Amino acid sequence: MILDLFRLDGKVAIVTGAGRGIGAASAIALAECGCDVIISSRTTSDLDQVAAAVRALGRRASVAALDMSDLAAVDTLAAIAREEYGRVDVVVNNVGGAIPLPFFDTTPEYLEESFHFNVSTAHALNLVTVPLMLEGGGGSIINISSVMGRVSGRGYSAYGSAKAALSHYTRLVAHDLSPRIRVNAIAAGATATSALEFVTQTPELKQMMEDLTPLHRIASPQEIAAGVVYLASPAGAFLTGKVLEIDGGTDAPSLDFNIPDL
């Protein structure tokens, strides 16, 4: 049956930024499909809630409260995978983000920080998990990018550039790691995560975001997680080096900060 292609029984996934939002939804969705998960974020209490949901599904969950901006933290995740599970099959690089800023407020230091948090963290984790994936015969890496890596708008120079880099990094590394490891990304549109609470709790901003999205709504984290499952599972076995756009048809920023001309 076609649904069997979405099963991940016996597989192990690492999901970063998994305390809330897309990361939490992805970890739970992978568990629903049979995956054990190793989850990380900065906040232990958030991770404990996600781990409880995973265990309620009959799957194993390991919690690692880490600050992924410290690239040495990735060694902990690889060690958990090796010591507690003996394998890793799926890596979901969900750490990232950057606050939009006007041009003159976007310092070189802030630009470098954005690249570090959105791209270097993913590469660091991939470096330490790919050997374990290869030992197990292969695997799937999924990078959570953004529609802002493709469209243009004022204030997004740091965030959009970093996400564009992550998307193209996906295409390049897919060649480096083929044929045994598939590497894909999801370019997410506006999604109802904690990072967007300032929008979703402000009626005017929420209406703007919905109006500027062709489907006239904001995605749920589960809708992005469904894409993660597809890319991680045998259902997506013939995809690598691709950026799956789950963005409601967005062709322009769905939030206009009204930054004036210089």
Confirm whether 203 is domain-assigned: no
CATH, residue 69? 3.40.50.720
Confirm whether 261 is domain-assigned: no
Confirm whether 216 is domain-assigned: no
**Confidence class for position 29, pLDDT limits 50, 70, 90:** very high
Name the residue range of residue 40's domain.
2-189+228-246
Query: What is the side-by-side order of every strand in the sheet holding 90-93?
Result: 61-65, 36-41, 12-15, 90-93, 139-146, 181-188, 243-246
Residue 157: per-residue pLDDT: 97
Confirm whether 214 is domain-assigned: no
Q: How far is CA 259 from CA 22, 102, 154, 197, 255, in A?
A: 29, 7, 7, 21, 11
Amino acid at 2: I
Cβ-based neighbour number of residue 3 at 10 Å: 8
Most distant CA pair in the chain: distance in Å? Answer: 58
Confirm whether 8 is domain-assigned: yes
pLDDT in tens, 82-114: 999 999 999 999 999 999 999 999 999 999 999
Confirm whether 239 is domain-assigned: yes
Is 159 a known active-site residue? yes
Which member of 85, 110, 156, 159 is catalytic? 159
**Confidence class for position 190, pLDDT limits 50, 70, 90:** very high
Residue 260 DSSP class: P
Residue 245: per-residue pLDDT: 98
**Confidence class for position 147, pLDDT limits 50, 70, 90:** very high
Confirm whether 257 is domain-assigned: no
Task: For residues 37 and 39, give the distance between their C-alpha atoms in angstroms, rounded to a whole number.
Answer: 6
Residue 257: per-residue pLDDT: 87
| More confident of the two residues 145 and 198 | 145
| Number of structural domains the chain divides into | 1
Contact 121, 69 (CB under 8 A): yes
Confirm whether 258 is domain-assigned: no
pTM above 0.85, yes or no: yes
Q: Where are the alpha helices (DSSP H) in the chain?
A: 21-32, 44-56, 74-80, 108-115, 121-135, 157-177, 197-200, 203-211, 221-232
pLDDT in tens, 224-237: 999 999 999 999 99
Which residue in 209, 188, 213, 212 sits closest to 200, CA to CA? 209
Cβ-based neighbour number of residue 4 at 10 Å: 10
Stated length of the chain: 262
Which residue in 103, 211, 119 sits closest to 162, CA to CA? 119
Mean pLDDT of the chain: 96
Tokens of 158: 């740091």
Which residue in 236, 19, 39 sits closest to 139, CA to CA? 236
